[in-house]
Amino acid sequence: MGAKKHGFLKSIGIFLLVCLACELGLRLFGYGNYTVYRPDDRLLWVPEPGRTVTVVNHLPITINDQGFRYPFDLKPKHGDEFRIIAFGDSSTQGWGVDDHSHYSAYLESMLNHGNCPREHFEVVSAGVNAYPNSLVAEKVKEVLEDNVAQPDIAIVAYSYNSNFEKLIKLQGAARKSFLRRVEFKSIVRRSAIYNFLIEGVLRRIAYYQLRHLVMAGTLSTLNGMDQLDMDQFNQGLEQSLKLTRARHVQMVLLLLGSDEQTPNSEMHPFQKAMLEFAETHHVPLVNMIPVISSKDQAAMFMDPAHPTAAGHQVIAGQLLQLINNLPSYQAACSGTNPPAVKVQSTLAVTGRHAQETGNINRQ
């Protein structure tokens, strides 16, 4: 019995040493340095501040102390600053691209090198990995209620994570249980071995299929349509629009598409609802589906939903065309006050661009 116990303990020791060697070795290649998401009573999960690397491609990702993907913390604006905040999921956060290659970063560079010398532009990504549209709406509310953020424009992007729209409604024991699972994942995700095996080697087999057990997320645009709460989706957009208008913030909708999706493809009901909401409420909307579908899909997407750096640059270019014609932008660049009837002026601008570029869909 003594020899067996000694052999067993020796095997355990060797196993632990091998695990330690693997853990340390994998860290040399970036594993164990992914963004960690901590539980949050209001938003369920939020990214922890710090400099980490993306899951795909292991490129730098910086999260500031306010939870934004931005190189520094936002402070109250000065007179010559024009601020844009983009809300959405991992596509808005910038999945698999570096700090300079998501559409918010590209848009900031384009605006600061454009034809408006009067203003300094800040374009901030408030996207959070795996957020469904319902949590995007709650994120908009949280940011707009903060007097520090003070955006001039709020871009609200379509989220692909439709299977998890109802998570925001979790209450009591169910909500606490979910937050515990988020906390559990925040612990195991610090492990390089977990990063390599679960989020790397077994990504499609285990991670995307099973990660809902510990935290929400899906890349599906057409799946997850059972028992959709269309009222909740529209109420989220209405809440965001009400908040932005009350604070004199221009709301812009961004309808993202997926790999191989064309204007003739079946659309997710939420995508259709976003188009209808934009038309009904006179909200400028950039429809990326006809734009991206006309380009090489392999160059635009790194997986079924996440844009490549080139895809992000195209998105930024389409947003730039719209923003250049918004009354708030033109007023800031000319040093005048924006028109009193802001929404009607904006509607005329977007209608003209729909005819000229096809990037605004107001069917």
pLDDT, one tens digit per residue, over 253-294 is: 999 999 999 999 999 999 999 999 999 999 999 999 999 999
Give tens-digit pLDDT for 35-68. 999 999 999 999 999 999 999 999 999 999 999 9
Instruction: Please give the pLDDT value at position 347.
Output: 36
Helix locations, 197-306, DSSP H? 208-210, 230-246, 269-281, 289-293, 297-300
Among 257, 45, 244, smallest CA distance to 132 is for: 45
Task: Indicate left, alpha or beta for 326 from its phi (over 0: left) and psi (-120 to 50: alpha).
Answer: beta
pLDDT(223) > 50? no
3-state DSSP assignment of residue 269: helix
Higher pLDDT, 115 or 63: 63
Mean pLDDT for the stretch of residues 177-202: 91
Question: Distance from CA of residue 119 to its chain's centroid?
Answer: 26
User: Which tokens sit at 283?
Assistant: 């909200």
Cβ–Cβ < 8 Å for 62, 94? no
Instruction: Specify the residue for token string 């997710």.
Output: 268
CA nearest to 60, candidates 105, 24, 23: 105
pLDDT-derived band at 160 (thresholds 50, 70, 90) equals: confident
DSSP string for residues in 211-226: GGGTS-----SSS--T
Neighbouring CB atoms inside 10 A of 301's CB total 22
285-287: strand order across its sheet: 120-125, 81-87, 153-157, 250-255, 285-287
Question: Minimal CA–CA distance to 316: which of 127, 84, 110, 114?
Answer: 110
pLDDT at 216: 40
Token digits of residue 114: 């454009």
The string of DSSP letters for 19-54 reads HHHHHHHHHTTTTT-BPPEEEETTTEEEEPSEEEE-
SS3 252: strand
On the question of pLDDT at 232 being above 80, the answer is yes
pLDDT in tens, 58-94: 999 999 999 999 999 999 998 889 999 999 999 999 9
pLDDT of residue 25: 94
Which residue did the predictor score with more confidence, 40 or 349?
A: 40
For 285-333, write each residue's pLDDT tens digit: 999 999 999 999 999 999 989 999 999 999 999 999 999 999 999 999 9
Residues sharing a CB contact under 8 Å with residue 73, sequence separation 6 or more, in sequence order = 64, 65, 66
* Cβ-based neighbour number of residue 348 at 10 Å: 12
